[in-house]
Amino acid sequence: MAMTSSVTVPRAFEARDRLGPFRLKRLVVALIFLSLAIAPGELGTLTRELMTDAYVAVSVFVAATLLLFYGAERVFHFDIGHALKNARGWQVPLAALMGATPGCGGAVVVVAAYSSGNVGFGAVVATLTATMGDAAFLLIATRPDAAVVVLPLSFTVGIISGWIVDRIQKVELRADTDGNNEIAPIVGKTRLQDMVYLLIAAPGLFVGISQLAQVEMEFLLGVSVMWIALAGTFLGLTIWATSKLKAMTNAKDSPLTRMAEETSFISVWVIGAFLAYDYLAVFGGLDLNAWFSTIAPLLPLIAIVVGFVPGCGPQILVTTLYINGVIPFAALLGNAISNDGDALFPAIALNPKAAVVATLYSAVPALIVAYGFWFLAPGFMN
């Protein structure tokens, strides 16, 4: 019996190691999404419609932006960290601009540049204050009028915050490093699933752009838009569930691989936010408008506190609530300034103390701007 045990136990651990504990959890989540999509009746119908909306309204735009960003970096052979280091007086504005770019890619680069000694702490605060993370894609796709106000305002607040912090922050928060700032493993050669993901995302992007132009499409080249979106959605879920990456990709991987991996990661949060809201509204009978109206003055503060949560999922949910008219513009703005999106994950990994301090710094302008709009322009953009 002892010999049997010595053989069986290592095999069990070996199987678990091949999957990885966090990949096993992702597989469970992916299977839950699949079960909801193929469920009979109203549940399945609603789920498929929401997944389609999430894909053509957000995921395809995320994919296009990431491919453009990573592709340009590879084609033009430039090192953003060194460019920021040589920018001198323009360092904070450039860091804020990278943060204000939809998605978390720009902010992640600035955080890594700080850890390697290429930028100052004010640049970190500027980029984390200016970024809205992946929630910016959702806002641009669904409420471009609000995005035109939120993104430039966050950019401006980020610059001012960064300059002030560089003046008042005298304690060095940069952690000692050995020069190796790679925080994500290398995937390797471009995979077949990366190329297929792009082939599906391309027509999906065309549909998404058409919908922004208020041209509704049910079929594209004789194929239902829903089937295109669901194919892209479940390929993304497969990539995410089987990935060895936690969130970020390695700069040494191809732009196509980085696009597929990171878009898949982001899309899971987007789908979750879409499903959570509509399930509560349709099946739970929850009237969020009535519930939130009883605590209306606290909404900007609550949204700012939610912004402290790492990742883009909670921030996408806040943006979804604004789009559906549940929370006011002041709350959305407070969350946009206080949240750091996925950039907070590498910040914590590279320098947890600096990440916490930068996040707390961003709360000050978030409170000022959010409650400024709450009291001075309560009906603005609502």
Least confident window among 264-268, 303-307, 314-318? 314-318
Q: Is the pLDDT of residue 238 over 60?
A: yes
Task: Give me the pLDDT at residue 344, please.
Answer: 76
Reference 248, options 182, 202, 180, 194; nearest CA is 182
Pairing of strands 219-220, 223-224: antiparallel
Residue 351, token pair as written in the block: 């320098």
When pLDDT is cut at 50, 70 and 90, the band that residue 170 belongs to is low
Q: Which residues pair with 224 in a beta bridge?
A: 219
Tokens representing 24 are 């096993």
- At residue 339, the 3 state secondary structure works out as coil
Number of CB atoms found within 10 A of residue 53's CB: 19
The reported pLDDT for the residue numbered 173 is 63
Looking at per-residue confidence, does 281 or 41 come out higher? 41
Residue 350, Cα to own-chain centre: how many angstroms? 19
Q: What is the pLDDT of residues 38-96, one digit of tens each?
A: 999 999 999 999 999 989 988 888 888 888 878 887 888 776 767 888 887 899 999 99
pLDDT, residue 217, reads 85
Residues sharing a CB contact under 8 Å with residue 69, sequence separation 6 or more, in sequence order:
101, 103, 105, 106
pTM for the whole thing?
0.74
Asked if residue 206 lies in contact with residue 229, where contact means CB atoms within 8 angstroms, the answer is: no
Q: List the chain domain ranges.
A: 50-376
Evaluated on CA atoms 194, 71, 313, 55, the torsion sign reads: negative
The whole-angstrom separation of Cα 94 and Cα 87 is: 8
Closest CA to 362 of 330, 344, 339: 339
H-type alpha helices, the chain: 2-19, 21-37, 41-54, 60-76, 80-85, 91-100, 105-115, 121-130, 135-142, 144-168, 192-212, 225-242, 255-282, 288-293, 299-307, 313-323, 329-338, 344-350, 352-376
At 2 the pLDDT is: 42
For the stretch 289-300, pLDDT in tens is: 666 767 888 999
Q: What is the DSSP letter of 309?
A: S
- pLDDT of 9 above 50: no
Give the Cα-Cα-Cα angle 83, 85, 91 (nearest 5 degrees): 90
pLDDT surpasses 60 at 28:
yes
High-pLDDT (> 70) share of the chain, %: 86
The amino acid at residue 338 is S
Taking a C-beta distance cutoff of 8 angstroms, is the pair 62, 69 a contact? no
Name the β-bridge partners of 301: none
Output the pLDDT for position 220.
Answer: 86
pLDDT at 381: 82
Residue 170 amino acid letter: K
AA identity, residue 343: A
- Residue 121, pLDDT above cutoff 80: yes
CA distance 125 to 106: 13
Q: Report, in angstroms and rounded to the nearest whole number, the Rg of the chain calculated over CA atoms.
A: 22
Residue 175's region, left for phi above 0, alpha for psi from -120 to 50, else beta, is: beta
Q: What is the C-alpha to C-alpha distance for residues 257 and 248, in angstroms, rounded to an integer?
A: 11
Q: Are 260 and 81 spatial neighbours (Cβ–Cβ below 8 Å)?
A: no
Backbone φ and ψ for 325, nearest 5 degrees, come out as 75, 20
Task: Check residues 278 and 228 and name the one with the higher pLDDT.
Answer: 228
